[in-house]
Amino acid sequence: MNTKIPKIILASKSPRRQELLRLMDVYYEVVLKEVDESYPEHLSPEEVAVYIAEKKAKAYDAKSGDEIVLTADTIVAIDGLILGKPENEAHAIEMLQRLSGRVHKVVTGVCILYKHEYNLFHDVSEVFFRTLSEEEIKTYVSKYKPYDKAGAYGIQEWVGITAIKRIEGSYTNVVGLPTEKVYQQLLRLAR
């Protein structure tokens, strides 16, 4: 554990982000606040992810004295279209049909708030999907119910294990937190 890094307030209910922080061996506590995740329509996928991460951090600014507040937002984008979390089963199926046999971007925007300073950055990974059958898509959605995942899939679940041909970029970014970039920023702030 890096004892130079101050305690982190993780503003995320994502079990995947929590597990990644555990694996990074940093001390954190989950503190949740409801935040409106809407964004201006003219923003690029990279700008949207950072915009929402910063918006989440602003809800914690008054509390950010000696603790670090870490917020993140992950989106999937294809053909300039942002695929957030699916609203229901039909929406999840539609998203996976769109991704099937294609390449898409996974963008995670991160905000590290420390001593009222917003440290904003993002990471982008390209994910190459094989073609999925209708039956595979419907079975995956029915079994895994990926309604809390951008693009309607989790890389650590069946689709990620069986359908992703390759990734260009950070694997942990696709999971939901670009850990290498996050860790480097945390070390920089701890100096």
Q: Go through the domains of the chain in sequence order and give each one's CATH number.
A: 8-190 (3.90.950.10)
Other Cβ atoms within 10 Å of 110 Cβ, number: 25
Question: What sign does the dihedral 61-52-29-113 (CA atoms) show?
Answer: negative
Q: Considering the entire predicted model, what is its pTM?
A: 0.93
Q: What is the pLDDT of residues 100-134, one digit of tens each?
A: 999 999 999 999 999 889 999 999 999 999 999 99
pLDDT, the chain, mean: 94
Catalytic residue flag (residue 73): yes
Tell me which residue of 142, 131, 177, 182 sits closest to 156, measured CA to CA. 177
Catalytic residue among 36, 73, 79, 148, which?
73
